[in-house]
Amino acid sequence: MKFLDLAKVYIRSGAGGGGCVSFRREKYIEFGGPDGGDGGGGGSVYAEAVEGLNTLIDFRYQQHFFAKNGQPGMGKQRTGKDGDDIVLRVPVGTEILDEDQETVIADMTEVGQRVELARGGNGGWGNLHFKSSTNQAPRRANPGQPGVERTLWLRLKLIADVGLLGLPNAGKSTFLAATSNARPKIADYPFTTLHPNLGVVGVDEVEFVVADIPGLIDGASEGRGLGDLFLGHVERCAVLLHLVDGTSETVAEDYRTIVHELEAYGGELADKPRVTVLNKVDALDDERRNEAKAELESACGCAVYEMSGAAKLGVIDVLRALRAEIDDNRLRLKAQDDEPEPWQP
């Protein structure tokens, strides 16, 4: 399934049905009086967060969502049928923005969460509603209220506990493949990852979700490379895992490039807890390994972990460091295989 994290939709709620002007006309009933019914209400447009979706691809092929109009009222005091509602089913983590792409209307963060985007118009009153002691034969009825028409943007921000950051070919996808059942594309050229990937990682009897996004380069905040389009997918993460390629000749500069892009992106992303890792250490001799680690520690001012995702060296220590930064309420117990009961003679 193709990944899509931004979609534009056009919605319109249903208009209410008009009220009816009618009089009871039956044989032997001289003064039947008004009996015009009310119009039905128009359908509303809702958005609901559902399980099983992790992309907005459905909204590429259908952008228009119009609820049904209410039926007009009828004689014999019959009320018109209400228009059917329409529901936009979106993945958990979807933000619903106004047409300016800045005003947040709703943030769908829980399964089953539902929000009303456009309310249907009320049905108009029939002439029966206007009957009174001084006006026993009213000949007026109200029209139904019109529906609401809006243009909205849907922006998906993946729900994950850990976000992977780094330059292209820093080993992010390799780490995800080595620690989870996810199978992202891995190759020896830049921008192998073109869309985010999610993987469930387990350590010390707990599990958490890791998001791998396309690599950043210098100037990404200004649109270079793939830009910062995918940084929104790590905004909700509890901790960021910053991988630095140990085989690079400019380890400290590579680290500062990513930090600069986080600061340029704005928000709280630059202030999130980060675990810094010197990756691909299996390709370094001891002398170069120590030099690179010292250079990186000097640049970040914190402890640096050594790891090789391909050789699975130091992976457990990195996972435990990430687990320590995640709140307990976000962690999940690892699924245990059901052990067969012992045989009883």
Q: What is the mean pLDDT of residues 310-324?
A: 88
Tell whether 171 is in a known binding site.
yes
Rg of the chain over all Cα atoms, to the nearest angstrom = 30
Q: Do the annotations mark residue 188 as ligand-binding?
A: no
Condensed to tens digits (0 to 9), the pLDDT of residues 270-306 reads 788 889 989 888 888 888 888 888 888 888 888 889 9
Closest CA to 63 of 93, 88, 95, 84: 88
CATH code assigned to 1-156 = 2.70.210.12
Q: For residue range 137-178, list pLDDT tens digits in order.
A: 899 999 999 999 999 999 988 778 888 888 888 888 888 888
69 is in an annotated binding site: no
Fold match between domain 1-156 and domain 162-333 = no
Does 310 appear as a known binding residue? yes
Task: Name which residue leads in pLDDT, 226 or 9.
Answer: 9
pLDDT at 192 exceeding the cut of 70: no
Top mean-pLDDT range of 96-100, 327-331, 341-345: 96-100
Least confident residue range of 42-51, 101-110, 125-134, 198-207: 198-207
334 known member of a binding site:
no
Q: How confident is the model at residue 345 (pLDDT cuts 50, 70, 90)?
A: very low
Q: Span 162-333: which CATH code?
A: 3.40.50.300
Which tokens is 200 given? 């469930």
In this prediction, residue 185 has a pLDDT band, given cuts at 50, 70 and 90, of low
CB atoms within 10 A of CB 228: 22
Residues whose CB is less than 8 angstroms from the CB of residue 267 and which lie 6 or more positions away in sequence, other chains included: 235
- Is residue 208 scored above 90 in pLDDT? no
Do the annotations mark residue 215 as ligand-binding?
yes
- Residue 1: pLDDT band (50, 70, 90) is very low
Residue 273's nearest CA partner among 204, 202, 206, 322 is 322
Which parts of the chain are beta strand (E)? 6-12, 45-50, 64-66, 86-91, 94-97, 104-108, 114-118, 149-156, 162-165, 197-203, 206-212, 239-245, 274-279, 305-306, 332-333
Residue 129, annotated as binding a ligand = no
Burial of 127 (0-12, 13-18, 19+ CB in 10 A): buried
What is the DSSP secondary structure assignment for residue 30, as one 8-state letter? S
Confidence check: pLDDT of 338 > 50: no
Q: Which residue has the higher pLDDT, 163 or 44?
A: 44
Predicted pLDDT at 117:
95
Contacts of 116 (CB under 8 A, 6+ apart): 44, 45, 46
Q: Is residue 195 marked as binding?
A: yes
pLDDT tier, 227 (very low <50, low <70, confident <90, very high otherwise):
low
For the chain, the structural domain boundaries read 1-156, 162-333
pLDDT for 232: 76
221 in a known ligand binding site: no
